[in-house]
Each structure stands twice: as C-alpha cells, then as structure tokens.
Amino acid sequence: MPKVIYVGSAGSEHTIDAAPGDTVMSAAVRHGVPGIVAECGGNCSCATCHVWVREEFAPLVGPPGEMEEDLLDMGVSERRDTSRLSCQIVVTDELAGLTVDIPPEQP
C-alpha cells in the first residue's frame, strides 16, 4: 500500500497506509489525522481539506480542476502554487511517499 505523509503546522508527521483509489482526504479522516476537517465529506464543496503538496509530488498530483480552483480561490487562508483539496487527490501506487503539509487553519 502506498504511504502518505501528512505534516502538521507544528511539524508533527502522520504516516499512513492508503489504499490505491482512496483519496488523500478519506485516508486522513479514516486514520484521524488532525487538521483535515473534511466538512463536506469529500464532495468538493468546501475547502476544509486543503493541503500544500510538496513540490516534488506536484507534477504527479497534477493541477486542480475548475471547481477545485474556485474553492481554493475563495476558501483557503493561504493559497500556494501547490495548494490542492485533498478530497480531489486519488492515491495511486505512483504517489507512494506523497507528502502534504496541512495549513495551520482550515476555513
């Protein structure tokens, strides 16, 4: 199973096994990763699962879709070039070791 590493704003790391086909958000919620609120349950209708994808994984994850772009523009406290909603990142074997940083505050 691919591992996903979540780094909190204070530097704490949570490494979990995520099944291919899971989203980065659903794996985090299932394992109780702090900071991934996921109010909408993964429906791409809030921005409470916002993460910053580490630069080395950005090409593999790809850019946000149109709806995700709108939510990122309106709903995140600090938008970065690698900002993504974790509900829109599907775990694949290629993403093994994916590291994402969790912003200090979710909207």
14-42 as b/e: b if 16+ CB within 10 A: bebebeeebbbbbbbbeeebebbbbebeb
Domain range for 84: 3-101
In eight-state DSSP terms, residue 74 is H
The answer to the question of residue 10 being in a domain is yes
Q: Residue 38 sits in a domain of what CATH number? A: 3.10.20.30
Q: Taking the model in full, what pTM does it have?
A: 0.93
Please say if the pLDDT value at position 79 is more than 70. yes
User: Structural domain tally of the chain?
Assistant: 1
The answer to the question of residue 79 being in a domain is yes
pLDDT of residue 76: 72
pLDDT of residue 105: 76
The answer to the question of residue 107 being in a domain is no
What pLDDT, in 10s, does the model give residues 8-32? 988 999 999 999 999 999 999 999 9
